[in-house]
């Protein structure tokens, strides 16, 4: 049921083959206000071929077009405006939503092809940052969107559990560490050591040499280094798991950087064989000047590996293991140079599939306008953000609906959902400032607002003794006030497609806000439960809204409580 297609067909029936259906569809616009119709065709695209003024062409099209399937078709200046048959359109859309339920908007774009998603990937012995939250929730939402469009997503947590920083951490622990202290509060304690290390090495550069030596030992399998490393890793992972649990997010693989320790040598050998490795001041590099990039440093002069070495091994491992059709990397845009180098080296190695790798980049989260940094100890702690958000949600529920059952559970779903929604509502490349009060508001463009709109729809249905699965038979709404909501419902599949193609969950978050707004406006001036001949039609609309809002939130990884 594609109305644009229908409009395009009607136009082509008049103009003949001057433009193909696809070309016409491409030109069709959606007018800014409903007064100008539902679709508009700009006739000036034909003035060259038809050698006529666009106003004249628009007039001729209207004269000749078959108006039967439309409420009306009219020419306004160079535009032909189409008004759809609202009753029929509404009937079609609402019936479709009620039949397909949460499968409304399912598409087959992927033919079940595998898509690996490198996401979250926090660093061991450091707190999970707001940046990692972004990667986690964007990655998770993309996984849901990919599933909905018939891809098979594979969520990989590429843990930062290897690298020179472990040398630093071991050195710091050796100098100032205390086992009891670490056990009591692992992440914060390890972070404290790490921050102290970075302070002291400013004055004592030999600390860095010690740290490098420890990492070298770790890569060579030294038992003491390995024991400490494993301990730090286990403690950190335990802690991360708690956050993932609160977010309701799972992974298919936790193969982090350390997993590739024994898989890097073959890559280095292959680079050598292919004549790509050059020596530079004792280190091994791959020249990337033909890509306009700095050389990729593959092996340091002491023989240790680098971040990119492990990423090369990981990319190849993923291709061999999952034979992906796309391989996504959800990481901050500050890593774009790293990503380009990674892809360039793989291309140099002759791997065409490097073209299927995509950097799903995102912007910084700031606080009070300032950049956050673990090294300087200037961070927002994610677990504190979630706690505070839940507490704020609790307060609001206490004010607005003190008798609500399951208050704790709902507060949790609203608080955590608010943080996730806020993150996803921002186009991923935009930088944004984090302000908790703003995030948890029940009004405005927030997650709680969308959840609240869904709960309101559910409450109307409860009053009418209808649930999400009731079968309503409908003929279409006569009420013009319902039109905006109906149109919004019809846009859902197109939104899904756009969100997946652009790797942009914000498309869905923004859509959910618009749908919620349209519905709330409708609800504000329509008595839904009045007993008249249109009652069931209105309830069907409410039910459709509940289904699509809930599905939108699900795609974002946000819960939709039935009451709040």
Q: How many CB atoms lie within 10 A of CB 351?
A: 16
Task: Show Cβ contacts of residue 16 under 8 Å, excluding neighbours closer than 6 positions.
Answer: none
Phi-psi region of 66 (alpha: psi -120 to 50; beta: other; left: phi over 0): beta
Residue with tokens 């892809």: 343
Q: CB 122 → ligand ARG: shortest distance, Å?
A: 6
Output 313 or 455, the one with its CB closest to ligand ARG.
Answer: 313
Output 310 or 487, the one with its CB closest to ligand ARG.
Answer: 310
Site for ligand ARG in 172-231 (CB under 6 A): none
Phi-psi region of 150 (alpha: psi -120 to 50; beta: other; left: phi over 0): left
**For the sheet containing 370-371, what is the strand order?**
370-371, 365-367, 432-433
Residue closest to 478 by CA, chosen among 68, 89, 163, 70: 89
When asked if residue 161 is in the footprint of ligand ARG (CB under 6 A), the reply is: no
Task: Show Cβ contacts of residue 308 under 8 Å, excluding neighbours closer than 6 positions.
Answer: 296, 297, 298, 338, 341, 342, 345
The pattern of x and - marking residues 373 through 412 that bind ligand ARG according to CB under 6 A reads: ----------------------------------------
The string over 158-189, giving b where at least 16 C-beta atoms fall within 10 Å of a residue's C-beta and e elsewhere, is bbbbbbbbbbbbbbbbeeebeeeebeeebbeb
Q: CB 329 → ligand ARG: shortest distance, Å?
A: 6
Output 366 or 526, the one with its CB closest to ligand ARG.
Answer: 366
What is the DSSP code (8-state) at residue 485?
H
The pattern of x and - marking residues 109 through 148 that bind ligand ARG according to CB under 6 A reads: ---------x--xxx-------------------------
Residue nearest to ligand ARG (CB): 160
φ, ψ of residue 105 to 5 degrees: the values are 95, -5
Site for ligand ARG in 259-318 (CB under 6 A): 311
Output 121 or 534, the one with its CB closest to ligand ARG.
Answer: 121
Which listed residue (158, 428, 538, 559) binds ligand ARG by CB under 6 A?
158
Output 3 or 362, the one with its CB closest to ligand ARG.
Answer: 362
Output 329 or 449, the one with its CB closest to ligand ARG.
Answer: 329
Output 121 or 446, the one with its CB closest to ligand ARG.
Answer: 121
Output 118 or 171, the one with its CB closest to ligand ARG.
Answer: 118
How many residues form the binding site for ligand ARG (CB under 6 A)? 9
Which listed residue (313, 331, 379, 424) binds ligand ARG by CB under 6 A?
331
What pairs with residue 373 in β-bridges? 378
Which listed residue (329, 421, 434, 522) binds ligand ARG by CB under 6 A?
329
Task: Show Cβ contacts of residue 173 under 8 Å, excluding neighbours closer than 6 positions.
Answer: 182, 190, 193, 228
What's the rounded Cα separation, in Å, for the pair 500 and 508? 10
Output 105 or 122, the one with its CB closest to ligand ARG.
Answer: 122
Output 118 or 551, the one with its CB closest to ligand ARG.
Answer: 118
Residue closest to 23 by CA, chosen among 31, 12, 34, 32: 12
Residue closest to 44 by CA, chosen among 34, 29, 33: 29
Output 214 or 259, the one with its CB closest to ligand ARG.
Answer: 259
Residue positions counted in the chain: 564
Q: How far is CA 94 from the centre of its chain?
A: 27
The pattern of x and - marking residues 439 through 458 that bind ligand ARG according to CB under 6 A reads: --------------------
Q: How far is CA 524 from the centre of its chain?
A: 32
Q: CB 309 → ligand ARG: shortest distance, Å?
A: 11
Output 240 or 442, the one with its CB closest to ligand ARG.
Answer: 240
Q: CB 327 → ligand ARG: shortest distance, Å?
A: 10
Which listed residue (160, 186, 476, 493) binds ligand ARG by CB under 6 A?
160
Q: CB 239 → ligand ARG: shortest distance, Å?
A: 15
Q: CB 376 → ligand ARG: shortest distance, Å?
A: 16
What is the DSSP code (8-state) at residue 111?
T
When asked if residue 326 is in the footprint of ligand ARG (CB under 6 A), the reply is: no
Q: CB 132 → ligand ARG: shortest distance, Å?
A: 6
Q: CB 123 → ligand ARG: shortest distance, Å?
A: 5
Task: Show Cβ contacts of residue 43 under 8 Å, excluding neighbours closer than 6 positions.
Answer: 54, 55, 57, 58, 61, 75, 78, 79, 80
Q: CB 174 → ligand ARG: shortest distance, Å?
A: 24
Q: CB 129 → ligand ARG: shortest distance, Å?
A: 8
Query: Which residues of this chain interact with ligand ARG, rule CB under 6 A?
Result: 118, 121-123, 158, 160, 311, 329, 331
């Amino acid at each position: 049921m594609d109305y644009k297609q229908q409009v395009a067909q009607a136009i082509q029936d008049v103009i003949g083959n001057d433009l193909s259906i696809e070309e016409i569809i491409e030109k069709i616009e959606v007018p800014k206000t409903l007064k100008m119709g539902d679709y508009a065709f700009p006739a000036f695209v034909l003035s060259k071929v038809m050698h006529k003024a666009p106003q004249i062409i628009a007039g001729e099209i209207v004269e000749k077009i078959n108006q039967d399937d439309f409420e009306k078709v009219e020419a306004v200046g160079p535009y032909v405006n189409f008004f759809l048959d609202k009753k029929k359109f509404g009937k079609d859309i609402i019936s479709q939503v009620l039949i397909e339920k949460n499968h409304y908007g399912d598409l087959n774009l992927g033919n079940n092809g595998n898509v690996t998603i490198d996401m979250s990937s926090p660093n061991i012995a450091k707190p999970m940052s707001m940046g990692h939250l972004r990667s986690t929730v964007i990655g998770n939402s993309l996984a849901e969107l990919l599933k909905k469009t018939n891809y098979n997503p594979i969520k990989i947590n590429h843990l930062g559990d290897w690298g020179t920083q472990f040398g630093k951490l071991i050195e710091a622990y050796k100098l100032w560490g205390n086992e009891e202290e670490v056990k009591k509060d692992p992440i914060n304690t390890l972070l404290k050591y790490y921050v102290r290390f970075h302070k002291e090495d400013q004055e004592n550069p030999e600390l860095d040499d010690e740290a490098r030596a420890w990492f070298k030992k770790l890569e060579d399998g030294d038992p003491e280094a390995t024991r400490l490393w494993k301990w730090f890793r286990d403690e950190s992972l335990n802690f991360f798991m708690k956050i993932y649990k609160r977010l309701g997010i799972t992974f298919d693989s936790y193969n982090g950087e350390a997993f590739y320790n024994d898989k890097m040598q073959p890559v280095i050998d292959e680079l050598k064989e292919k004549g790509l490795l050059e020596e530079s001041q004792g280190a091994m590099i791959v020249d990337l000047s033909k890509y306009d990039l700095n050389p990729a440093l593959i092996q340091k002069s002491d023989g240790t590996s680098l971040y990119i070495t492990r990423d090369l091994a990981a990319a190849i491992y993923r291709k061999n293991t999952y034979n992906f059709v796309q391989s996504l990397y959800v990481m901050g845009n500050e890593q774009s140079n790293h990503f380009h180098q990674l892809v360039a080296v793989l291309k140099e190695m002759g791997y065409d599939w490097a073209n299927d790798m995509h950097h799903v980049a995102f912007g910084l989260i700031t606080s009070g306008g300032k950049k956050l940094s673990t090294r300087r100890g200037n961070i927002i702690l994610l677990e504190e953000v979630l706690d505070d958000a839940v507490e704020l949600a609790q307060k609001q529920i206490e004010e607005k609906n003190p008798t609500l059952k399951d208050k704790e559970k709902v507060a949790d779903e609203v608080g955590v959902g608010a943080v996730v929604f806020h993150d996803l509502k921002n186009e991923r490349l935009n930088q944004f400032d984090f302000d908790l009060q703003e995030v948890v508001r029940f009004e405005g463009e927030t997650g709680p607002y969308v959840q609240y709109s869904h709960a309101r729809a559910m409450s109307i249905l409860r009053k009418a003794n209808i649930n999400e699965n009731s079968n309503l038979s409908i003929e279409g709404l006569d009420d013009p006030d319902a039109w905006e909501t109906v149109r919004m419902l019809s846009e859902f599949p197109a939104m899904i497609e756009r969100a997946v193609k652009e790797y942009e969950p914000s498309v869905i978050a923004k859509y959910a806000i618009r749908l919620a707004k349209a519905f709330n406006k409708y609800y504000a001036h329509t008595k839904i439960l009045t007993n008249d001949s249109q009652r069931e039609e209105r309830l069907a609309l409410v039910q459709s809204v509940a289904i699509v809002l809930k599905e939108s939130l699900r795609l974002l990884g946000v819960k939709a409580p039935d009451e709040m």
